[in-house]
């Protein structure tokens, strides 16, 4: 059983693991050759030690808060970090890679780790874990632990809507089905590796993201781009039904649809209700285009108090937003 740090609270589950994109990548991309990194200030300015960790935020991400709430540890480390210790290893890691998606092309374009390769990393983890604690305990840990998958947004936002390839091959509805077929295989592969408790995130309201509004020439728009939000809603509806079918088909599986859409939409539409001042732009620079390398210390006018902002850069949330969305996830 996991004993945590110094407080020795008995953890609610043995471990927490994440797969997916930048929403849950605590810094795996720092260890691969890609431009999609958050390894320079002001990223991490409100993290312990005020250092950039590779998290696309001013501080922690949702899985960090979820791990703490489950009594595991304060932060969830990246699997590729050579420095994490055995205790960290036992209580969970992240395999996620910022910029990734279900479509291999999405990851290829920006040289990050596609979802199938994240499963390969998990296989490596499982082998290491088995060496460490033996086969029986390893499969117990994996069978009882919580796994989260957060992917799909980049497939639309950095691939389908902006590269010509998929658009010529698929209608939006066909592309959704293409992604969900890959998602189904991903879930089945994890199931074969012993995973039983998996939370699969739906897509958030993409049309409310500052960078998307800028790219669509709508940066002045007070609300959100409805067309993009509708794509998310219909994708999520299909995802729900697929998870329902997989639950029936895979004995002992607990696949949960994690609705991030409506909770996040409420934050964006009613920021003051949650203690925010603005949801139309990020804290870093203008907040309309900056992300990764373009959000840096040379960027002028980065806000002084990130907790007043829903968005940290033009795409990603602030630590405060991630804390709120983590609570939504835990309640559900």
CA distance 162 to 149: 24
Beta-carbon contacts of residue 309 (< 8 Å; ≥ 6 apart): 276, 277, 278, 279, 281, 282, 283, 287, 303, 318
* Radius of gyration, alpha carbons of the chain: 19
Is 313 assigned a catalytic role? yes
Q: Give every CB contact of residue 81 below 8 A, 6+ residues apart in sequence.
A: 27, 28, 30, 31
In what side-by-side order are the strands of the sheet with 254-258?
A: 16-20, 146-150, 197-201, 254-258
Any idea what DSSP says for residue 78?
B
Phi, psi of 39 (to 5 degrees): -110, 15
Catalytic position from the list 22, 62, 157, 317: 22
Q: Is 149 noted as a catalytic residue in this protein?
A: no
244 among known catalytic residues: no
**Annotated catalytic residue within 64, 103, 155, 313:** 313
Question: Which residue's structure tokens are 């732009």?
Answer: 281
Active-site hit among 94, 103, 219, 316: 316
Residues belonging to the active site = 22, 313, 316
């Amino acid at each position: 059983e996991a004993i945590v740090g110094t407080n020795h609270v008995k953890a609610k589950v043995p471990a927490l693991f994440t797969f997916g994109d930048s929403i849950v990548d605590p810094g795996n991309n720092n260890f691969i050759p890609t431009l999609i990194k958050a390894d320079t200030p002001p990223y991490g300015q409100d993290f312990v030690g005020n250092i950039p960790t590779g998290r696309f935020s001013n501080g922690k991400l949702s899985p960090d808060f979820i791990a703490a709430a489950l009594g595991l540890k304060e932060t969830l480390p990246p699997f590729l970090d050579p420095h994490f210790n055995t205790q960290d290893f036992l209580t969970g890691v992240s395999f996620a890679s910022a910029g990734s998606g279900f479509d291999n092309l999405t990851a290829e374009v920006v040289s990050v780790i596609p979802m199938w390769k994240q499963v390969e990393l998990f296989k490596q983890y499982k082998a290491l874990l088995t060496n460490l604690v033996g086969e029986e305990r390893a499969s117990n840990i994996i069978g009882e632990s919580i796994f989260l998958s957060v992917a799909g947004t980049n497939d639309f936002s950095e691939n389908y809507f902006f590269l010509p390839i998929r658009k010529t091959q698929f209608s939006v509805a066909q592309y959704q089905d293409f992604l969900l077929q890959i998602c189904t295989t991903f879930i089945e592969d994890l199931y074969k590796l012993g995973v039983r408790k998996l939370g699969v995130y739906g897509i958030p309201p993409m049309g409310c993201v500052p960078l998307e509004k800028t790219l669509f020439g709508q940066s002045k728009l007070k609300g959100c781009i409805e067309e993009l939000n509708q794509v998310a809603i219909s994708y999520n509806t299909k995802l729900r039904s697929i998870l329902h079918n997989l639950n029936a088909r895979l004995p002992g599986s607990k696949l949960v649809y994690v609705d991030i859409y409506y909770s996040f939409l409420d934050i964006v539409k009613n920021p003051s209700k949650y203690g925010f001042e603005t949801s139309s732009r990020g804290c870093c620079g203008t907040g309309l285009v900056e992300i990764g390398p373009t959000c840096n210390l040379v960027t002028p006018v980065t806000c002084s108090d990130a907790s007043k902002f829903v968005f940290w850069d033009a795409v990603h949330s602030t630590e405060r937003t991630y804390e709120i969305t983590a609570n939504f996830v835990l309640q559900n």
